Amino acid sequence: MGADITALIVEWAHLENTPVLERERALIEAASPDVYDESVEDGWAWLPPAPEGFPTWCARYEFGGTLGSFKPHFWAGERWWAVREHAPADLRAALDAFLAGLIWTPPGTDDDLDEDDAEPWYGSMWAYCPPPDVPALTRAWNAAGPRLEELREPFTAHAAAPGQWIGQFDEFTQLLHGWARAVAEAHQRGWGLIGLPI
């Protein structure tokens, strides 16, 4: 059984006003209410104005072609690892910064939070990006997004794995564009991003 991910943008003030030990449950409940349009396979599962009863403090993003699985996100990180040393230095730095906030741990960093800074519910998240960190992701994407085509040739030479998860360059960029849309919406609203393993 594989791991799944549900990507949410979240109004942080609402989350912070929820008791710490109740936050994970509140996020899980908000991530899968009956009022979502389950037919949405790519993009936002809702559009403002929200339907009556919809939790107005969060929204869910669906990554096309992933079936909700975390595997494509993991493999995007692996493909980036294979190609990053062949990318121009400034593009590499921008994509490192963008992906580090979402799906990839750069070399030389620690997977774990400092225990003094960790909250009890944090460890259950695949991605965790509070609003003050979202503008940095936006800047990183603005630097990297328009230049992704520069990675096509090195990706094909060093990272392609046809028939496997994110084995083609276009699959890699499609997933990155999905994260960029989620980041852009969070940035516009002043919200944060969370990836739940559900």
pLDDT tens for 58-74 read 888 888 888 788 899 99
Query: Where in the sequence is the domain holding 168, given as residue range(s)?
Result: 69-108+132-189
The mean pLDDT of 168-193, rounded to a whole number, is 95
Is the pLDDT score of 4 beyond 90? Answer: no
Q: What is the crossing angle of helices 169-189 and 89-100, to 10°? A: 60
Instruction: Examine residue 85 and state whether it is found in any structural domain, yes or no.
Output: yes
Please indicate, yes or no, if residue 162 is contained in any of the structural domains: yes
What is the average per-residue pLDDT within 25-35?
74
Question: ω before 131 within 30° of 0 (cis)?
Answer: no
Is pLDDT above 60 for 50?
no
Q: Into how many domains does the chain fold? A: 1
More confident of the two residues 151 and 18: 151
Mean pLDDT for 80-84 is 96
Q: If you average pLDDT over each of 64-68, 99-103, 130-134, which comes out highest?
A: 130-134
For residues 86 and 114, which has the higher predicted lDDT (pLDDT)?
86
CA dihedral (152, 156, 97, 63) in degrees, to 10, reads 90
Q: Quote the CA–CA distance of 123 and 34 in Å, as a whole number.
A: 26
Residue 169 pLDDT more than 70? yes
Task: Tell me whether residue 117 is in a domain.
Answer: no
Q: Answer whether 195's CB lies under 8 Å from 127's CB.
A: yes
Measure CA 14 to chain center.
20
Q: Does residue 5 lie within any of the structural domains?
A: no
Q: pTM for the complete prediction?
A: 0.83
Q: Assess if residue 49 is contained within a domain.
A: no
Q: How many CB atoms lie within 10 A of CB 195?
A: 22
Look at residue 114 and tell me if it is in a domain: no
Q: Is there a domain that residue 115 lies in? A: no
Could you give the angle at the alpha carbon of 111 between the alpha carbons of 107 and 117, nearest 5°?
Answer: 130
Higher pLDDT pick, 183 / 121: 183
Residue 15 lies in a domain: no
Q: How far is CA 128 from the centre of its chain?
A: 9
Calpha distance 176→155 (Å, rounded) = 14
Average pLDDT, the chain: 83
Q: Residue 155: pLDDT band by 50, 70, 90 thresholds? A: very high
